[in-house]
Amino acid sequence: MAKTGVAKLFRNGRSQAVRLPREFRFEGDRVRIRRVAEGVLLEPLISDAPRWFAELDRLNSEAFMKKGRKQPVTPRRAVFK
């Protein structure tokens, strides 16, 4: 089961902010935020693609696209006949 905790809300200028407990803190100075059905989700913002895929692998039980992409061959099309 995932860790749970309680975080403190406060105002920072005209924005609402969250003071995260130490065990929930992120590296860096930005996070990705999105609204989900149950509330709001904060995710680490990883700009380095290989690091991002490594993080997906770390979080999932099996590697992301372990066997690579199997794209169908693009059909040839006659353009502007």
35: Cβ contacts below 8 Å, ≥ 6 apart: 41
pTM here is 0.51
The two structure tokens encoding residue 10: 């406060």
Query: What element of type H or E holds 78?
Result: none
Q: How confident is the model at residue 29 (pLDDT cuts 50, 70, 90)?
A: confident
The pLDDT tens digits of the residues spanning 38-72 come to 889 898 887 788 887 887 778 777 666 777 778 88
DSSP secondary structure of 23-70: GG--SSS-EEEEEETTEEEEEE----HHHHHHHHHHHSSS-TTTT---
Q: Give the residue extent of every domain in the chain.
A: 27-63
Q: Which pLDDT value is given to residue 8?
A: 93
